[in-house]
Structure 1
Amino acid sequence: MATVKSLDTRNLPAYSYKEAEKYLHIPKDTIRSWVKGRTYETKQGKRFSEPLIELPKPDAKALSFTNLVEAHVLRAIRVEHEVRLDQIRIALSFISEELGYPHPLVREDFLKTDGQSIYVEHLERLLDASKGGQIAIRETLDIYLTRIEVDEQGIASRLFPFVHPDRAKDEPKVIVIDPNIAFGRPVIAGTRIPTQVLAERHQAGESLELLAEDYRCGRNLIQIALEYEGIAA
């Protein structure tokens, strides 16, 4: 009897570009350019910048959970550490093709940077992936990577997005995106309470106290969930 392969919900197209923008505080046009690529002008004419994130299927209209995590990490590399797009592209190509790591941005053994190059830990060495494999100095992207939980294979399985756009290092992990909870919608960590449902009920006139009592949840957690949804309690 043939074994039925379980469906990995992390790779299902489930998030629109607008939702990804809302959840990650990244402009949807930026996310779209990472996913679809973009055309730009040079002195030699038009050039095309290849995508950095691979959709679940080429014709998919939505991003997967894996893609959300990739965008979360790409922002850290591209904006926080100011690594150039060409270096990122070279690194991802090297890691995927030479080391055999599909979707390297969601792997625990990836994501080390010194602000100039991207690295992957492989065979107990740290390789400078954007230069084709030279040993390099290690610096972990702590502020972003600590917001990702991985499974036993070291692959991202849960993401704790930043509540506020300023992305404070000490921001608590109150909101979580888990593809196996609430259809992958953001919820209050440790519960199955979707932040969007709280926002809708609060906008309909229900107070923080009523919501906290109804869901048996701390008032402060309800307030943080509303802040994440962009609503002033």
Structure 2
Amino acid sequence: MYNGTGIYTLPEASRLIGVPAQKLNRWFFGYGYSKKYGDESVRAFSAPLWEPQLSSEEFSSPVIGFHDLLEARFVDAFVAHGIPLVVVRRCMEHARELYSLEFPFTSGRFKTDGKTIFAEEVERAIKEDALLDLKTKQFAFKAIINNSLYDGIEYAGDIASKWYPEGKRSPIVLNPSRQFGSPIVESTGTPTKILFDSYLAEGQSPAAIQQTARTYEVPIKAVESAVLFEENLKRTRH
């Protein structure tokens, strides 16, 4: 039913792209906040940046899809450089309309056209809100949208179809058509988490690598890559 979509809980997504689950929840499902009207404080709601691929009503906890996951990496790159979400939202809506694509940031076209879209939306935001000091931000586009965001993505036309989180030379891939998009060894389809758990159970040694490779019929180098990948997730990501 969900073949080709990918399924990630927010903690799983956080682990994979290094964005806190709470932040992802706000981006994908919106949030309430207090807003001042004169002397009164009223509750307001900030809508999601976009509608996630999957309906959380069908799952026991909030979930997102493969394209949601990749698009969130780009949103995080904007936010990390101090760009307000209102500008990120407008850039997304502008690009979505221009390209007729539901997930425009991950498109290779945004890499070339995004600077213009970005500058236009920054200019618009400054005109509408004098408190926004974004005049220098329009020159930061190359620092935000860099090759590292695109290098591991493989495309089918304009649409992202796979993501190699450690680069395309690595055997580790996220493919929404296989294992619901979880990280796997591409040649065998074996989830990296299973290989890592086996490695831990076998004693975390070179012998453990070899035993895991035999048990799951996976090349030794692929097991080594899976172990390193999982260790890196624990070490450097949320």
Task: Normalising by structure 2, report the TM-score.
Answer: 0.70
Measure the CA separation in 1 of the matches of 2:27 and 2:66.
15
- Say if 2:176 is the partner of 1:182: no
Measure the CA separation in 2 of the matches of 1:97 and 1:184.
27
Question: What secondary structure does 2:34 align onto?
Answer: strand
Residue 15 of structure 1 is matched in structure 2 by 8
Contact 2:185–2:192 (CA<8 Å) still a contact in 1?
A: yes
Larger helix fraction of residues: 2
- Say if 2:97 is the partner of 1:128: no
Deviations 1:1-58 (A, max 9, x none): xxxxxx884436x211121112222211111111011223344444322211321255
Residue 155 of structure 1 is matched in structure 2 by 159
Contact 1:70–1:105 (CA<8 Å) still a contact in 2?
A: yes
Measure the CA separation in 2 of the matches of 1:9 and 1:141.
30
Contact 2:195–2:227 (CA<8 Å) still a contact in 1?
A: no
What's the % identity of the aligned pairs? 21
Give the aligned residue type for 1:199.
F
Deviations 1:98-143 (A, max 9, x none): 553322123221146xxxxxx53xxxxx632563598x87634212
Q: Which runs of 5+ in 2 are unaligned?
A: 124-137
Contact 2:173–2:186 (CA<8 Å) still a contact in 1?
A: yes
- Say if 2:42 is the partner of 1:48: no
Measure the CA separation in 2 of the matches of 1:171 and 1:192.
16
Number of equivalences = 203
Residue 89 of structure 2 is matched in structure 1 by 89
The structure that has the greater radius of gyration is 2
Residue 115 of structure 1 is matched in structure 2 by none
Contact 1:212–1:222 (CA<8 Å) still a contact in 2?
A: no
Q: Report the RMSD for the aligned CA atoms in angstroms.
A: 3.2
Measure the CA separation in 2 of the matches of 1:133 and 1:8.
37
Give the aligned residue type for 1:11.
T
Change in CA separation of 1:131 and 1:62 when aligned onto 2, cut-off 3 Å: same
Change in CA separation of 1:110 and 1:141 when aligned onto 2, cut-off 3 Å: same
Measure the CA separation in 2 of the matches of 1:8 and 1:223.
27
Higher relative contact order (CA 8 A, sep 6+): 2
Change in CA separation of 1:55 and 1:20 when aligned onto 2, cut-off 3 Å: same
Residue 147 of structure 2 is matched in structure 1 by 142
Contact 1:73–1:145 (CA<8 Å) still a contact in 2?
A: no
Q: CA deviation at 1:189?
A: 4.5
